[in-house]
């Protein structure tokens, strides 16, 4: 497979416009032609502590340029596989419009973006923003058939209502479980003191959740963990960056020690991509200003690009 080093521009990461992976920008959502559609959801009014995830999409896009050299795909010597060749069409839709102080209006705009990606036959990949942006993402799947949600996160996010708030970043998994087309949830990485009370855990299990902590996941190993995900289920993946240990991902609003390291999550995602149809992805809670090293945004971009590589390799696009 050829690369573009021998002709045209070198186009180093720090040159040019920071679309995701330096892929084409398509602001006309009615004209999408892509296998993957990247949508920014820079909304963080659902946070209960530190804000800043509104800058997550911009930060992750900039970090993703690190992986945008002129290769025709990315070769992995351990897998002896070339991921994301030019045949995988990735398009950046830009950001959903965010209306300050208006959660419902902002969420509606995010939902419209996800629906546009699905209408175009593209895999929607949403970069948050706080975890409340998952609520409109899941709503957009109401005509897509049954899905199972794989949540990788430090927090259960299963609060029903708190002081009238039903659509904050502590509520998304409860709202997902209420949807008739969500057949269940596998919630991995949940640990330590949680924002969800004891009764919320009981409700989650009663509504079809399988809850697995980091220590439990490590004890059972990747293959046993994968076996907990229903066979044949179509999977929507929601990944909160605070699932990772803050030693490698400090750039988030609610860090929680004892989290996953990189390969623990990567191997889980690779196994899911090999064994299931992935229908949608969101990655949330990256707040770049809390990490002056930039490691958190690089981690987020690297995880997303690797996951997309695994998905399309499994589909035979190699």
Per-residue pLDDT of 154-182, as tens digits, reads: 999 999 888 898 998 999 999 999 999 99
pLDDT band, residue 45 (cuts 50/70/90): very high
pLDDT at 70: 56
What's the whole-number mean pLDDT along residues 288-309?
Answer: 98
Query: Residue 232: which region, alpha, beta or left (left: phi > 0; alpha: psi -120 to 50)?
Result: left
Q: For 263-272, what is each residue's pLDDT tens digit?
A: 999 999 999 9
Distance (Å, rounded) from C-alpha 235 to C-alpha 226? 12
Which pTM was predicted?
A: 0.96
Report the pLDDT averaged over residues 41-48. Answer: 96
Structure tokens at 298: 């690089």
Whether the CB-CB separation of 189 and 214 falls below 8 Å is answered with yes
Measured CA distances, 56 to 111, 130, 156, 242 (Å)? 18, 9, 21, 13
Q: What is the pLDDT of residues 11-43, one digit of tens each?
A: 888 988 999 999 999 999 999 999 999 999 999
| Bond before 129 cis per omega within 30 degrees | yes
Q: Are 83 and 13 in contact (CB under 8 A)?
A: no
Instruction: Return mean pLDDT, the chain.
Output: 94
Per-residue pLDDT at 5? 57
Alpha-carbon 273 to chain mean position: 14
pLDDT at 2: 55
How many beta carbons lie within 10 A of that of residue 64, not counting itself? Answer: 26
Q: Which pLDDT score, from 0 to 100, does residue 72 have? A: 66
């Amino acid at each position: 497979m050829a690369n573009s080093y021998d002709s045209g521009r070198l186009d180093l990461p720090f040159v040019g416009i920071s679309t995701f992976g330096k892929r084409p920008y398509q602001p006309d959502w009615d004209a999408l032609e892509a296998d993957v559609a990247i949508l920014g959801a820079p909304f963080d009014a659902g946070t209960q502590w530190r804000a800043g995830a509104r800058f997550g999409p911009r930060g992750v896009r900039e970090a993703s340029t690190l992986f945008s050299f002129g290769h025709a795909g990315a070769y992995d010597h351990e897998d002896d596989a070339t991921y994301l060749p030019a045949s995988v069409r990735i398009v950046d839709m830009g950001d959903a419009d965010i209306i300050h102080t208006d959660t419902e209006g902002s969420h509606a705009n995010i939902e419209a973006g996800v629906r546009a990606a699905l209408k175009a036959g593209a895999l929607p990949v949403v970069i948050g923003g706080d975890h409340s942006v998952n609520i409109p993402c899941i709503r957009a799947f109401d005509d897509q058939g049954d899905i199972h949600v794989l949540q990788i996160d430090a927090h259960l996010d299963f609060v029903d209502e708190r002081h009238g708030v039903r659509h904050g970043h502590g509520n998304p998994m409860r709202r997902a479980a209420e949807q008739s087309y969500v057949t269940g949830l596998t919630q991995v990485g949940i640990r330590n003191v949680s924002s969800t009370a004891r009764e919320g855990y009981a409700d989650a299990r009663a509504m079809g959740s399988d809850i697995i902590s980091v220590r439990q996941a490590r004890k059972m190993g990747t293959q046993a963990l994968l076996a907990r995900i229903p066979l044949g289920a179509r999977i929507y993946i929601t990944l909160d960056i605070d699932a990772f240990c803050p030693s490698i991902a400090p750039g988030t609003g609610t860090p929680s020690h004892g989290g996953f390291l990189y390969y623990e999550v990567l191997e889980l995602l690779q196994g899911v991509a090999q064994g299931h149809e992935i229908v949608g992805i969101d990655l949330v809670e990256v707040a770049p200003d809390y990490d002056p090293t930039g490691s958190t945004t690089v981690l987020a971009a690297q995880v997303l690009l690797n996951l997309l590589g695994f998905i399309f390799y499994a589909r035979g696009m190699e």
